[in-house]
A and B are shown apart, each in its own frame.
Chain A
Amino acid sequence: MKILLIEDDPHKAESLLGHIACHYANASVRSAASFQTGIRTALSDWHDIILCDMSLPTYDIKGIDSGYEMITYAGRLILTELKAKGKATPVVIVTQYTTFSEMWGTKHLAEVNEELHAEFSDTYLGAIFYCASEDSWKSELISIIDRICIQES
């Protein structure tokens, strides 16, 4: 199984990778740490599933490059781009935010989730709330990946 993980927080990425490795020994996970790297990787190769953070820096934070600007709804843009390019890779949003605060207002994760379901009904599998101190995200993640495995088999 080929999984693409688009996550800029190494702590969270490590936690996700560890959990996936525990459950899927044969899973091959590629990582990307920014919106652009994520999009490029997602478009250049085939993946069974994409696990994607909602808020990402534009470019990889490397050396003196601070990654340009933080895109609050990068996950949504990735879904849009995949749809525009005809890629039907399933996408799961894994986020640490329950709300997305902006200067103009706040959107709750549930609200964003509904919007994404409506807009990308074919590829969007759902949003998982990640909290390092809780375990509920683990079962949700496994459940979604299992579903993909069953569909493929």
Chain B
Amino acid sequence: MVKQIHSSNNTRSSHQEMSSLHSTKRIASIIERRLFQNREDPLPVATRLKHGLTFQQLEDIIARLRNPHTLARLFNRPIVKDYADLHHRAPNSEPTSDWLKEAAWHCLASTTYSTQIAHFLKKRVELSNFLLLGDYHKASQALDSIEQECGPSLYTLQRRFLLAHLDGGITANRSLLNSLQSSAANPVLLGISKFVSVRAEFENPAVYYEAYVRRGLGEIAQTWGLQLREYIAQYAHPLLLTPPPNPSFVLWFSNGSTIVDRYLLTIRAFRSKLASYSTVEERSQIRTLIASLSLKIQDPDLENLLALLTGAPPKSLATEAQKVYIRALDAYVAGDYISAATQGMHLLRLMPTCFHLYELVAKSCLYSGTRTPELGTTDSMANQTLGELNQFYSGRGILMGQNQLLRKIGSVLGETHLGYNLFLLSTNSQKIPQLNQTSLLSELHSTLLNPKMALGLEPHDRDTVLDWFQLAYPDSASSQFYRLKHSRKLKQNKQLKGLDYFRWRLHLAEELIAEDKCKAAQRILEKVIELLPHNDVRWHRHVLNAYSLLYDCALAMQRTLDALQAIVSAFFFHEESVTRFDLASMNLQTRTFSSEDAKHICVPIARFLALDRFSLKKGSPSDLARQSHAVYLIVDDFLAAHKCERPSDLIEVILSAPEYFEPPQSLNYFLDELCCLVVLSKAHRYASTTDELESERIKLCSFLLKVSSRNAESLKSELSAISKRRLARTVRAQVDMSRIAVNDEVLRAASLAVHASTFARFLRFSKLAASDAIEVALPSELGLNPTATKPSSPQDDFSKRPSDLCLLDIVGSLVIAFTLDENYGLNSALSRSIRHGSFLGALRKPFEQERLVTRRPLKGAPYAANEFWIAQAFSSDASTEEIAELFSHFTSRLDDLVTRTCDNLLQVRIPLKATSLFSHEDSAILNPDGLFCYVGLDREIILEARDSETPISALEDIVDLTLVKLWERTDENLRRVRAYLDSSFKQAIMRSLDELLTRAQELLPTEAFAGLHRAVTRTRTQVQHEIAGICQWFTRKLAPQYVDVPLDSVLTATIDTINECSGNFLQSIQVESKVEAKVRGKFVTHMYDLLFILLSNIVEHSASSWGTAEASVSMSFNEDHCTIIVENNCYGSNSITDVVKHANELIASSALSLRDARQGQEGNTGLAKVVKILRIDLKQPLPTILARRVGENRFRISVEIDSHEVFAA
């Protein structure tokens, strides 16, 4: 019991306030738990609360009960406005039942200052009195008053029917019902209606009874749910739910509810008023009531019933005895104790088993001895009575105080069968005589020695039970008792555990908390939690109760950290259990924690739990982001407490100070749930790149896998996913995005072979001209007349020097081959890799994804109408043609921009190439000498060679110099193209988008325009990425780099990445005897490149011969897709490093993998055909790829060539 804290002193210390706060919080918590979790009767709680609490504490409790959570439970449904409002309530609960309302009342009535409740209770008593006294007018007024103040309820409805029936009979009852039905089409009222009609129609009592129970009441109960059934069972009449004992009972019952109601009201009033009324007037009222009752109830069975309900043994009581009993009661109520005692004693002689009479007689004797002035004349009678009473008690073997002893035994035995029985018996005095010493001892024997029944009893508890039993039965030195007390089996059963034990211990702990013996309670609870089997569902409720009590305990002791630990432990036991605790308040208190307390891991976890996790799951991404940021702040605070920079630094702390990381699951939970990627990504101190972020997470996952097996599969899967992502990024980085490839090795080899004789002539002419050169050079070197001796222009000079003409032949042909060679030249790369389809296709992709552009059915035909946005703008004032024109215009601008760029800029310019098709105006803007313009380069190279200090002595020298100069100019032009694409080109596209928006705002309705704006914004971002990718095309293709990882990992990562990109994740691929993959679907270009290059790697750099490798890759092809099949005999090694080694040898021997001759010979079935089709014939289209599982460890990858631009081009 909570200690009373007197508030006489206005200046209470903070400690007292805190203590009061904890006490009231605890009590509020107990109320809630008892009312709403355990479904207990609230009356005992309320009764207990009335004692020992100050006004402030009560106010505090009420305030706490009025917090949203409690009120949501307590007043789940507000008081309805009228009966019609009942219709809107959920049918599976009983919104206005007395049960719920009384629960609330009892709760609120725990404060005597609740005038509203007190007023209602008073009115209710008044109503029942008026009903009993037959003053229906006043009763009606009282009922009106209750309805007005508290709203209609089941209670008022019942009273209303009763009142109508009492006042006007069944007709009035029915008319009332009709009026209610007309005002509310209510299923509940419908049920009541059936009940009334059944009652009216069936005259046969037996049929009526059955109909009432099975139909009327059943339907009401079904409609109103279980609570109503409970209500009826509790308040209306328990016997209604049992078969009628005999026809007369049915007859009595069939007389209608009037008698029943009056009877019940009378009994209840009698019981309550008998105990509390003490004035003469009140006693007179009681007498009137009893008289009224006696007049109404004539049936002997009814009298039996009355006797039963008033506590007397019914069936054994003869009519005469009843009359005496009633006279005794009358006398007792009237204050005539001597008469009551006399009557009672008389009756006792007739009915010696009626223990209730002993109480009456004893009390009468007692009162007559102390309160009546006639004592002097009645002393002897009183003494005689008491003597007889004592004699009776002694004769029955029952001593005064035995009840208390039995009650104690019952409480120690807890919830064992015997303990429960003893508890009931000790509170229900009339049954005590039924249990004699022998039978009790027999039950005690079986209880204590039966493991199932005595589960969990402590040895000292058993000793206590036996001691008390001996005290209660002084003559119990029987052999049976002796055997029981000294039983070896009893002494051995010391460690028994069981549900009863735990329930009893929890009950004990609760009592201890209420009595402020929290330390003792805590010890008990910790032991209970330790012993309770956590993996058995049947015990869950008790485990959770234990945690709740532990939490209460910690709060009562003002140990917030312990409370947090209880919360966290309960959470780990059952996640939903956190709703039991006041997490918000706990979260606030953690802010005042000392640095030492803040180091405990339950602090961040409890703070995390205090976040609204339901909104985290169901809320919007913004909530999610905010929550993840809030979680990051929690994690950061915890790291700061341990002086750690990042979560992985905690690993050392965990190893050095494990005491901060209890319970063990908390560490897992913290590192797994709180330090997840989403949270870590919000921390600016942990990582600055995605790689660092993932490294941090990998460290945590690896550590968790080492220290615990919990969530091992999930952690492994996460590690695998991170590894795959990292590998994919690394591999992707290896992919050479460049599309500018000039095979200068081929050109060099060919040039060396072709120009050997020309160079020989050059050497001869050089020797012949050496003397002339010296002659010409001398005046220049001496500075005599440089203008006269130096050629006016290189052109003039070349015409005079045969050696230069030889060089011009060599250099010029190399420049032409470098720029214009059909297969290996720069123009070929620009043409097939970029201009023809790829550029436009790549750039169009983001626009097509957002449906901003349309296609032409035929080259030169108008663009197709943009049906999507036309449909979006159906409510617009603008015509369909205007909308179509808007998007056609935009598409046209985009295509024109790309076409102009391709035509005017991405063209090689040399004298031999016709220029009539192109305009070089734009090119000249980007580069004054012309973009990709190689006009005059040959002569520049020759001049440089001639002016070089090192003379040209070998053909390789001039060829190499030419290639270097060609690449220098090409690189410079590529740089200019990249700069152009990243600036002017991009800005032109952005301007087009802006213009589209500006025009669309006038044409499209608001909703459609908002959608278009979002689409344009997304496109803007995507186009930037796409242009950045296209810029990468304009770089020189370097020697391929390969990832040193096992091939199957590469394939796995590739396929996974592909499918993640296409939104269709695929299981990992296993390279076994044969990999057959079919890729189909849309995804970004570089993913295709990645797959293709990896497949090329496998084949080209396999340990097998080239022919074998070619044959290992086969392809089936139809209109939509081609299937590439790679067999594993093309890669005998598991490591790229190994295969690269072999590959180098292969490359050295075969020189090139894409020779025309090889294509011609082998290009029909193998990889060469794929290469030929994709890269040459189809001029590098944009394929779409999808992998599909076709069997265990078998995948089909199809490369779908759906780029219309390829064919359009």
A-side residues, CB < 8 A to B, are 9-11, 36-37, 39-40, 43, 58-60, 62-69, 71-73, 76-77, 80-81, 84, 96-105, 107, 131-134
Say if the beta carbon of B1115 comes within 8 Å of chain A: no
Q: Which residues of B contact A62 (CB under 8 A)?
A: 689
A11, A98, A105: the one within 8 Å of B1013 (CB): A98
The CA-CA distance from A116 to B17 in the complex, in Å, is 38
CB distance from B1183 to the nearest CB of A (A): 22
Say if the beta carbon of B688 comes within 8 Å of chain A: yes
Contact of B689 with A101 in the complex, beta carbons under 8 Å: no
A77 in contact with B1013 given A11-B990, A104-B620 (CB within 8 Å): no
Q: Which residues of B contact A98 (CB under 8 A)?
A: 1010, 1013
The CA-CA distance from A71 to B73 in the complex, in Å, is 38
Give me 15 A-to-B residue pairs in the complex whose CB atoms sit less than 8 angstroms apart, sorted by A's number: A11-B1024, A37-B688, A59-B687, A59-B688, A59-B690, A60-B689, A64-B733, A65-B691, A68-B693, A96-B1017, A98-B1010, A103-B620, A104-B619, A104-B620, A132-B990
A72 in contact with B625 given A10-B1024, A66-B690, A131-B997 (CB within 8 Å): yes
Q: Which residues of A contact B732 (CB under 8 A)?
A: 64
A80 in contact with B626 given A9-B1021, A11-B990, A102-B620 (CB within 8 Å): yes
Contact of A99 with B689 in the complex, beta carbons under 8 Å: no
Contact of B733 with A76 in the complex, beta carbons under 8 Å: no
Q: Which residues of A contact B621 (CB under 8 A)?
A: 72-73, 102-104
Q: Which of B665-699 contact A (CB under 8 A)?
A: 681-682, 684, 687-691, 693
Contact of A132 with B994 in the complex, beta carbons under 8 Å: yes
Q: Which residues of A contact B693 (CB under 8 A)?
A: 58-59, 68
Contact of A40 with B684 in the complex, beta carbons under 8 Å: yes
- Which residue in chain B gives the minimum CB-CB distance to A69? B681
The CA-CA distance from A64 to B690 in the complex, in Å, is 10
A40 in contact with B997 given A11-B987, A11-B1024 (CB within 8 Å): no
CB distance from A18 to the nearest CB of B (A): 12
Contact of A99 with B1014 in the complex, beta carbons under 8 Å: yes
Contact of B625 with A63 in the complex, beta carbons under 8 Å: no
Q: Which residues of B contact A76 (CB under 8 A)?
A: 622, 625-626
Say if the beta carbon of B246 comes within 8 Å of chain A: no
CB distance from B1033 to the nearest CB of A (A): 17
B-side residues, CB < 8 A to A, are 619-622, 625-626, 629, 633, 681-682, 684, 687-691, 693, 729-730, 732-733, 986-987, 990-991, 994-995, 997-998, 1010, 1013-1014, 1017, 1020-1021, 1024
Contact of A107 with B684 in the complex, beta carbons under 8 Å: no
Q: Which residues of A contact B1013 (CB under 8 A)?
A: 97-98
Contact of B997 with A63 in the complex, beta carbons under 8 Å: no
B interface secondary structure, majority:
helix
Contact of B622 with A68 in the complex, beta carbons under 8 Å: no
Q: A97-B1013, A133-B997 are in contact. List 20 more A-B contacts (CB 8 A).
A: A9-B1021, A11-B986, A59-B687, A59-B688, A59-B693, A63-B733, A64-B730, A68-B681, A68-B693, A69-B681, A72-B622, A73-B622, A77-B682, A100-B622, A101-B1014, A102-B622, A103-B621, A104-B621, A105-B620, A133-B994
Rank and list the top 6 A-B pairs by shortest CB-CB distance, nearest first: A133-B994, A104-B620, A39-B684, A64-B733, A73-B622, A68-B690
The CA-CA distance from A50 to B997 in the complex, in Å, is 28
The CA-CA distance from A31 to B92 in the complex, in Å, is 62
Q: Which residues of B contact A80 (CB under 8 A)?
A: 626, 629
Contact of A131 with B994 in the complex, beta carbons under 8 Å: yes
Q: Which residues of B contact A40 (CB under 8 A)?
A: 684, 688
CB distance from A78 to the nearest CB of B (A): 10
The CA-CA distance from A64 to B730 in the complex, in Å, is 8
Contact of A133 with B995 in the complex, beta carbons under 8 Å: yes
CB distance from A11 to the nearest CB of B (A): 5
Contact of A64 with B729 in the complex, beta carbons under 8 Å: yes
Contact of A99 with B688 in the complex, beta carbons under 8 Å: no
- Which residue in chain A gives the minimum CB-CB distance to B682? A77
A107 in contact with B622 given A98-B1013, A132-B994 (CB within 8 Å): yes
CB distance from A75 to the nearest CB of B (A): 11
- Which residue in chain A gives the minimum CB-CB distance to B994? A133
Contact of B633 with A84 in the complex, beta carbons under 8 Å: yes
- Which residue in chain A gives the minimum CB-CB distance to B995? A133
CB distance from A55 to the nearest CB of B (A): 9
CB distance from A81 to the nearest CB of B (A): 7
- Which residue in chain A gives the minimum CB-CB distance to B1017? A96
The CA-CA distance from A76 to B621 in the complex, in Å, is 12
The CA-CA distance from A104 to B615 in the complex, in Å, is 12
Output the residue of B684, B1017, B1020, B1024 with the most chain A CB within 10 A.
B684
The CA-CA distance from A66 to B733 in the complex, in Å, is 12
Contact of B1010 with A99 in the complex, beta carbons under 8 Å: yes
Contact of A65 with B1024 in the complex, beta carbons under 8 Å: no
Q: Which residues of A contact B689 (CB under 8 A)?
A: 59-60, 62, 65
- Which residue in chain A gives the minimum CB-CB distance to B1014? A101
The CA-CA distance from A67 to B689 in the complex, in Å, is 7
A81 in contact with B729 given A99-B1014, A102-B620 (CB within 8 Å): no
Q: Which residues of B contact A10 (CB under 8 A)?
A: 1024
The CA-CA distance from A69 to B682 in the complex, in Å, is 11
The CA-CA distance from A39 to B687 in the complex, in Å, is 12
CB distance from B1090 to the nearest CB of A (A): 12
The CA-CA distance from A48 to B629 in the complex, in Å, is 25
Contact of B1020 with A11 in the complex, beta carbons under 8 Å: yes
Q: Which residues of A contact B1014 (CB under 8 A)?
A: 97, 99, 101
CB distance from A32 to the nearest CB of B (A): 11
CB distance from B738 to the nearest CB of A (A): 15
CB distance from A19 to the nearest CB of B (A): 15
The CA-CA distance from A66 to B1028 in the complex, in Å, is 12
Q: Which residues of B contact A73 (CB under 8 A)?
A: 621-622, 625-626
- Which residue in chain B gives the minimum CB-CB distance to A63? B733
Q: Which residues of A contact B990 (CB under 8 A)?
A: 11, 132
Q: Which residues of A contact B987 (CB under 8 A)?
A: 11
The CA-CA distance from A126 to B730 in the complex, in Å, is 41
Q: Which residues of B contact A107 (CB under 8 A)?
A: 620, 622
The CA-CA distance from A4 to B106 in the complex, in Å, is 63
CB distance from A34 to the nearest CB of B (A): 9
CB distance from B1024 to the nearest CB of A (A): 7
The CA-CA distance from A104 to B618 in the complex, in Å, is 9
A43, A65, A72: the one within 8 Å of B690 (CB): A65
Q: Which residues of A contact B1010 (CB under 8 A)?
A: 98-99
Q: Which residues of B contact A69 (CB under 8 A)?
A: 681
Q: Which residues of B contact A102 (CB under 8 A)?
A: 620-622
The CA-CA distance from A43 to B683 in the complex, in Å, is 12
CB distance from B435 to the nearest CB of A (A): 66
Q: Which residues of B contact A60 (CB under 8 A)?
A: 689
The CA-CA distance from A103 to B691 in the complex, in Å, is 28
A11, A43, A71: the one within 8 Å of B625 (CB): A71
The CA-CA distance from A132 to B691 in the complex, in Å, is 34
The CA-CA distance from A68 to B998 in the complex, in Å, is 33
Q: Which residues of A contact B687 (CB under 8 A)?
A: 36, 59
